[in-house]
Amino acid sequence: MAKLHIEPKQSEEGEDGAEFQVVEDEGILAWDADSELLVVGQSYPRLEGREKVTGRARYSSDVRLPGQLYARVLRSPYPHARIRNIDITKAEQSPGVHAVICAANVPRIAWYEESVLFDATVRLVGDEIAAVAAESDELAQDALRLIEVDYESLPFVTTIEEALRPDAPKVHDGGNIAGEPTTYERGDPESGLHEADVVVTGDFETPCALHNAFESHGCTASWEGDSLTLWDSTQAIFVVRQQVAEKLKMPEHRVRVIKQHMGGGFGAKQIPWKHDVIAALLSKQAGRPVQLLLDREAENMAAGNRNPTRQHVQLGAKRDGTLTAIVARIEQSAGAYRTGGEASNVSGTYQTLYRCPNVRTEQTAVYTNTGPAVAFRAPGHVEAAFALEQAMDELARALDLDPVALRRRNYAEVDQLEDKPFTLPEGLRLSYDRVTETFGWGERTAQPADSVKRRGVGFAAHDWSGGTGHPPGYAWIELNSDGTADVVTGTQDIGTGARTGLAQVAAEELGLPLANIAFQLGDTATGPYSPVSSGSATQATIGPALRAAAADVKAQLLEVASVVLEIGVGRLSVRDGRVLVDGDTERAIAVGEVMQKIAPHTLQARGARAPNPADMTIRTFGAQCVELEVDTETGEITVLRIVTAHDCGRIINPALVDSQVVGGVTQGVGFALSEERIVDTRLGIVLNANLEEYHVPTVADVPVIEHARVGVPDSAANSTGAKGIGEPPLIPTAPAIANAVFDAIGIRFRAGPLTRQRVLAALAARETNGSGEADS
Amino acid sequence: MGPHTHLPVTLSVNGSRFPLLIEPRRTLLDALRHDLALTGTKKVCDAGDCGACTVIVDGRAVYACLLLAVDCDDRDITTIEGLAKGNALDPVQEAFIQHDAFQCGFCTSGQIMSLRALLDANPEPSDDQILRAVTGNLCRCGAYLNILKAGRLAADMQRQAAADV
Amino acid sequence: MKPFDFARPDTIAAAVALLDGRDASRPNRSALLAGGTDLLTLMKADLYAPELLIDIKRLAELDNRIEETAEGLTIGALVTLSQLEDDPRIQSLVPALAEAAALAATPQLRHMATIGGNLLQRPRCWYFRKPGIHCWLKGGDDCPARQGENQLHALFDVSPCVAVHPSDPATALLALAASVRLRGAAGERELPLAAFFAPPTDERRQETVIGNDELIVSIQIPAAAPGTRSTYLKAMNRKVWAFALAGVAAAIHMDGNRIAQARLALGGVAPVPWRAESAEQVLTGAEPSPEIIARAAESALASAEPLAHNGYKIPLAKALVRRALTRLTAPAFPGA
């Protein structure tokens, strides 16, 4: 059994709110580099592969229940308005309509940090006003057109700059500063800049990017008496359960949340959104199941985005490249509301990526009358890396140093925030080594014969506070009487392959082939508590819990085998479905055969996630090299090749890790070159809340992407030695691309994405005034 | 005719005929997903901007979201549910599993249908033809490189199977 | 989408008769459905809500074939973009059209979209396409793009509307001197594309002069002088599947080492496909050289009046013009 004790809460790790933390350390020894693992480390195909390629995988939007209705939400056409009156009478009488809700007929339910479910003031185009459930989606739309709303339009702001003006219209009564600005300082940044031989200064802007997960936010809600079931497209079934229960004033055990498969989330589905409660209220009113799916426009207006930022950056260094100061002033747009979830800590990487005694970061979030921001795959770090890693490139050029050499010179051996060692201090160095060797960094780029096209190479590094995993997290395992095992968790596979990677950990520890495992997740009614799948945490959180449960079951199995075989437990082990006897290969016996001796009894155990080490910091690192070509007449950028290396600890499943890496880099290519929400600042309307003019990369935009695996187990981090890889690969891509563009054509792009518009405007500006600087 | 007139339509999907009475404004995509409960074909953009709803109609890959169901009367429709023969997966499906050509899986049906249509029309496609066949299918997870590998493997598997016959 | 009725007439006359029922008091009474790839997106956004949809896709009288005669090529209105892309006669006689078709949209959309519908598609302007914005083209008072987010908009100021025409094939067909054959209640007429497309005016807020009661029957491409070369180039914000930031179609007939005839059309720069006649004059009779080609490119964009955010399209379009002309006048041109 786990050693369980309770102590006052020490750190911010894990989830907020509790005053005490439960420490469950089962004393599982970490697998290290010498561990001989059979299942872990193999490229098994995804467990759900067959379901997904046959169209049988059931997503939340595929739920079909008897009598199911379809819901639509009426959304504000104004960026800021007071609602004087809503008349739903005609909508209620529209054919096929079974429920219509608005502020007048539902309880006042607090939402976000500043608002309610149906607020009398709407603060963005897309804010929820009312909702309809009807017998078909078409009939729901018909009814929506009949809802009459009397608006009083209010002045509004859509950009950071507008929001910060002293006389700006206020998004909320308290003004436009969202939460407390944060300041971090160590050493003496002014002195650091003063003593520098070279200072580079730059003002950077990152765009608002839209997640555009292919499955939009949505759920199906169904009541049986007082019990509610939600099939929700979420990264956090237990958070949704707790929040929905709280908002509907229900006990948690009367809310069941199910999510087996999900069409992407990328961070935007890590919090409960209004659709959950709206669907539940409509279903209650109608007395029938209700499915509510956001359409693409709503998804892109009102269900999260990567916050746009402005970053003023100064780096100071000695002639030999030693950093003397890092100063960053950051402004970010939270949109109309603060949604919670993983924070967009833009400051973080300035404080930690490089060794520097003198650092100051100031970070201010502002409200604007636009869609609320929410975590998007490495929130904050993607934005910061675009600025910091370009500034480092500028610094290297100013010092006439190789960009990689500059970074090696400023290698952070320890966590400078807490003055603690890293669990794998060589993680970033290994990434530098692997990526530069594989790419051939330092070799001259051959320029094409056509002088109109210029090639360049670029480099960028990253660190990331995610990927560490954390308690709590649990697993249950039952070893069946035929030697197969049911492995039960309450976690989520949001498309990453978590189901497979986690099952491999369980199979390894149990000593069973993967085929003898059934792995369960995604149902609050059948699995133990699991935290949100965000922060690249799932593998590193649930993996160790699975090992703990499996080790317990295995110990029980060996006790049984010991009796059955009349051999001391000390001589027994389990591997590949067989109980092995040390020194006597003849006596090996199948696990199923042992279990048959006690059938129909089964062996069961639970496992918990042990705490992270208190005296060390876990971090994930990586680095990327890019080669590309710029057509100086048409502004076209063609990325030719990206090599990327990441310290994600032990690689549980190489093929699936490669997929995560390549997928992240692909999103990075989009962030660098084409993805940008466009808002008309006079109308407050998102003009490209669609997949037509919001340009995610196509198959033809993706270069050769090579993952140069590092794969060194981080055995001090957790008992599996594996860290998360979901978020990191995206972080360095955009700055590496921008650095390569500078290398190719000598123009620095401090505002992204690098569209034809920006590239051609910068080339034309250089023609005119000879400047190598691009305006936004 | 009144505003909510329903019309009789017979959809021929995956070799079966389904007589339906539906509103003219219902798209083929919604008819598949709701009237026939064939939910393997996904709705993502509902505007012809993503490719997730790709199905094969009369031998051609098309977007089901931009076709009216009434317009598909008696046309031969194949969806993702129609590819496997019993338990035997289509080579494209098999290749997608082998090359991990999907992550979240939401674009996968569309990608597979585009490649199936290609291989039906052109059993020996070039790499460029494979790429062009999926230029109308976005993948937000970024599984493109593996999708191309799967396309090449599926072509090989299909060729091999034909040679074995 | 709002509800509508659905009709499948057997003859063009019957289809036209259903169209003919339109009157000013009921402007949305009926619409023709062929490929549907544009119409349905307009209807889904409630930008257009016809009460009757007239399905002409299975109309036996309406052609989905490409025919070659001594006069040139006749392309039935129902020919899809895929057919144009794949047809060997189109590829060899008028490659600009095959290239434009191949660069348009996606394989799936090209399988669905008909050439008739392609010429009649409405602009992709993000103000026009947004249901909540009552822009000039939708009957409003002014064009919000003029002072707004106009990075995708027109360089040539010829209408209160600064949306650009989205069709790639239309640009190619203009360079190929094509015409459209229309049929309506009053009979049949043929219009050169240059007359068929007309910048929207206060009285006619659409991009073509097609009558309320007319449909496109076919497109005629006159036979060009033997040896005429043509090509279409397109710049997008992605490698594929985006509307043209700029497109250039050029058709050149060489007489020895001189350009006997040149036709040049630009896409993505005006509310209609844009013919660059001044550039054609620079080229006609000239011996091709980098200087002449550069002069032609300058001339093609000379009257451009960029908006706040679309100035980049000028060097872009010029570069495409130079590349198209360089390609077409190269001694080693394929098939020359």
For every residue of C37-62, DSSP letters joined together read TTHHHHHHTTS---SEEEE-TT-TTS
Three-state secondary structure call for residue C314: helix
C309–A757 CB contact, under 8 Å: yes
Domain termination site, one of B82, B108, B126: B82
Residues of chain B numbered 11-70 and touching chain C (CB < 8 Å): 23-25, 27, 46-48, 51, 54, 60-63, 65-68, 70
Assign residue B68 the CATH number of its domain: 3.10.20.30
Q: Looking only at Cα atoms, what is the longest distance across chain B?
A: 58
Three-state secondary structure call for residue B45: coil
Beta-carbon contacts of C24 under 8 Å, excluding residues fewer than 6 positions away, are none
A290/chain B closest Cα distance in angstroms: 14
The amino acid that residue A194 corresponds to is H
Q: Which is nearest to A107 in space by CA: A291, A339, A280, A298? A: A280
Instruction: Evaluate if residue A771 carries a pLDDT over 80.
Output: no
Is residue A775 very low, low, confident or very high in pLDDT (cuts 50, 70, 90)? low
Which residues in B lie closer than 8 A to residue C2 (C-beta atoms)?
A: 25
Q: Which single residue is written with the structure tokens 């209004």?
A: A274
Q: What is the pLDDT of residue A770?
A: 72
Nearest residue of chain A to residue B32 (CA atoms) = A62
C238–A755 CB contact, under 8 Å: no
What does the mean pLDDT of chain A come to? 96
B15 and B72 belong to one structural domain? yes
Which residues in A lie closer than 8 A to residue C242 (C-beta atoms)?
A: 695
Substitution target from A685, A701, A702 for chain C, most C beta carbons within 10 A: A685
User: Tell me: the pLDDT tens digits for A70-111?
Assistant: 999 999 999 999 999 999 999 999 999 999 999 999 999 999
Q: Would B130 be classed as within a structural domain?
A: yes
Instruction: Evaluate if residue A363 carries a pLDDT over 50.
Output: yes
B78 and B25 belong to one structural domain? yes
CATH class for the domain made up of A309-467+615-774: alpha beta
Domain termination site, one of B33, B62, B82: B82
User: Tell me: the pLDDT tens digits for A313-354?
Assistant: 999 999 999 999 999 999 999 999 999 988 899 999 999 999
Instruction: Evaluate if residue A2 carries a pLDDT over 70.
Output: no
CATH superfamily of C229-329: CO dehydrogenase flavoprotein, C-terminal domain (3.30.390.50)
B105–A263 CB contact, under 8 Å: yes
Percent of chain B whose pLDDT exceeds 70 = 98
Substitution target from A634, A640, A676, A694 for chain C, most C beta carbons within 10 A: A634
Is residue A113 very low, low, confident or very high in pLDDT (cuts 50, 70, 90)? confident
Q: Which is nearest to A102 in space by CA: A88, A115, A81? A: A88
Q: What is the pLDDT of residue C21?
A: 58
Delimit the domains of chain A by residue range.
3-58+469-608, 63-154+215-264+269-302, 309-467+615-774
How far apart (Å, rounded) are the C-alpha atoms in residues C197 and C267? 13
B121 and B95 belong to one structural domain? yes
Beta-carbon contacts of A668 under 8 Å, excluding residues fewer than 6 positions away, are A382, A729, A730, A731, A732, A733, A734, A737
Q: What is the pLDDT of residue C232?
A: 98
Which helix (H) or strand (E) segment holds residue A17: the answer is: none
In this complex, is the C-beta atom of C134 within 8 Å of any C-beta atom belonging to chain A? no
Domain termination site, one of B82, B113, B134: B82
A691–B40 CB contact, under 8 Å: no
User: Tell me: the pLDDT tens digits for A369-427?
Assistant: 999 999 999 999 999 999 999 999 999 999 999 999 999 999 999 999 999 999 999 99
Q: What is the pLDDT of residue C299?
A: 98
Instruction: Evaluate if residue B2 carries a pLDDT over 50.
Output: no
Which helix (H) or strand (E) segment holds residue A584: the answer is: none
C311–A764 CB contact, under 8 Å: yes
In this complex, is the C-beta atom of C147 within 8 Å of any C-beta atom belonging to chain A? yes
Residues of chain C numbered 23-42 and touching chain A (CB < 8 Å): none
B47–C41 CB contact, under 8 Å: yes
Across the interface, which of B23, B132, B136 has its CB nearest the CB of C3?
A: B23
Q: What is the pLDDT of residue C336?
A: 45
Q: What is the mean pLDDT of residues A188-193?
A: 98
Nearest residue of chain C to residue B111 (CA atoms) = C108
User: Tell me: the pLDDT tens digits for B105-145?
Assistant: 999 999 999 999 999 999 999 999 999 999 999 999 999 99
Q: Which is nearest to A537 in space by CA: A469, A639, A488, A456? A: A469
Q: Which single residue is written with the structure tokens 């006597």?
A: A584
Nearest residue of chain C to residue B1 (CA atoms) = C5
In this complex, is the C-beta atom of C326 within 8 Å of any C-beta atom belonging to chain A? no
Q: What is the pLDDT of residue C26?
A: 52
B140–A698 CB contact, under 8 Å: no
* Backbone angle region of A249, left / alpha / beta, with phi > 0 → left and psi within -120 to 50 → alpha: left
Substitution target from C237, C309, C313 for chain A, most A beta carbons within 10 A: C237
* Backbone angle region of C295, left / alpha / beta, with phi > 0 → left and psi within -120 to 50 → alpha: alpha
Across the interface, which of A660, A691, A704 has its CB nearest the CB of B138?
A: A691
C315–A700 CB contact, under 8 Å: no
Q: Which is nearest to A228 in space by CA: A253, A254, A251? A: A254
The complex scores an ipTM of 0.98
Is residue C22 very low, low, confident or very high in pLDDT (cuts 50, 70, 90)? low
Which residues in B lie closer than 8 A to residue C3 (C-beta atoms)?
A: 3-5, 23-25
Is residue A17 very low, low, confident or very high in pLDDT (cuts 50, 70, 90)? low
A271/chain B closest Cα distance in angstroms: 19
Assigned token pair, A609: 């996630």
Q: What is the pLDDT of residue B1?
A: 38
Nearest residue of chain B to residue C110 (CA atoms) = B62
Three-state secondary structure call for residue B162: helix
B77 and B134 belong to one structural domain? no
Is residue A520 very low, low, confident or very high in pLDDT (cuts 50, 70, 90)? very high
C4–B47 CB contact, under 8 Å: no
Q: Would B46 be classed as within a structural domain?
A: yes
C316–A635 CB contact, under 8 Å: yes
Query: Which runs of consecutive H residues, i.e. helices, occur in chain C?
Result: 12-20, 39-44, 81-86, 88-93, 95-103, 107-112, 115-120, 168-175, 193-196, 277-283, 290-300, 313-329
Across the interface, which of B51, B63, B70 has its CB nearest the CB of C112?
A: B63
Residues of chain A numbered 141-200 and touching chain C (CB < 8 Å): 141-142, 145
Across the interface, which of A95, A494, A656 has its CB nearest the CB of B100?
A: A656
Which residues in B lie closer than 8 A to residue C33 (C-beta atoms)?
A: 68, 71
Is residue A773 very low, low, confident or very high in pLDDT (cuts 50, 70, 90)? low
User: Tell me: the pLDDT tens digits for C77-122?
Assistant: 999 999 999 999 999 999 999 999 999 999 999 999 999 999 999 9
Task: Count the domains in chain B.
Answer: 2
Is residue B78 very low, low, confident or very high in pLDDT (cuts 50, 70, 90)? very high
Neighbours of chain C (3+ CB pairs under 8 A): A, B
Delimit the domains of chain C by residue range.
5-58, 229-329
Three-state secondary structure call for residue A53: helix
Assigned token pair, A107: 């309880």
Can you name the residues that pair with A707 across neighbouring β-strands?
A: A644
Q: Which is nearest to A726 in space by CA: A545, A544, A542, A540? A: A540
B61–C111 CB contact, under 8 Å: yes
Across the interface, which of A53, A57, A692 has its CB nearest the CB of B47?
A: A692
Which residues in C lie closer than 8 A to residue A761 (C-beta atoms)?
A: 311-312
User: Tell me: the pLDDT tens digits for A437-487?
Assistant: 999 999 877 888 888 999 999 999 999 999 999 999 999 999 999 999 999
C315–A678 CB contact, under 8 Å: no
How far apart (Å, rounded) are the C-alpha atoms in residues C186 and C182? 10
Nearest residue of chain A to residue C311 (CA atoms) = A761
Substitution target from B5, B62, B67, B137 for chain C, most C beta carbons within 10 A: B62
Is residue A12 very low, low, confident or very high in pLDDT (cuts 50, 70, 90)? low
Task: Decide if A130 contacts A116 (C-beta within 8 A).
Answer: no
Query: Phi then psi for B139, rounded to 5 degrees?
Result: -130, 110
B118 and B77 belong to one structural domain? no
Assigned token pair, A209: 């990017």
A45–B148 CB contact, under 8 Å: no
CATH class for the domain made up of C5-58: alpha beta
Instruction: Evaluate if residue A1 carries a pLDDT over 70.
Output: no
Tell me the catalytic residues of A.
727
- Identify the domain containing residue B142 by its residue range: 91-164
Task: Decide if A632 contacts A452 (C-beta within 8 A).
Answer: yes
C19/chain B closest Cα distance in angstroms: 17
CATH of A3-58+469-608, one of 3.40.50.970, 3.30.365.10, 1.10.150.530, 3.40.50.2300: 3.30.365.10
Across the interface, which of A48, A262, A662 has its CB nearest the CB of B145?
A: A662
Is residue A774 very low, low, confident or very high in pLDDT (cuts 50, 70, 90)? low
B28 and B72 belong to one structural domain? yes
CA-to-CA dists, residue C60 to A601, B89, C56, angstroms: 73, 39, 9
Q: What is the pLDDT of residue A21?
A: 79
CATH topology of domain A63-154+215-264+269-302: Aldehyde Oxidoreductase; domain 3 (3.90.1170)
B21 and B59 belong to one structural domain? yes
User: Tell me: the pLDDT tens digits for C284-334?
Assistant: 999 999 999 999 999 999 999 999 999 999 999 999 999 999 999 998 665
Q: Would B116 be classed as within a structural domain?
A: yes
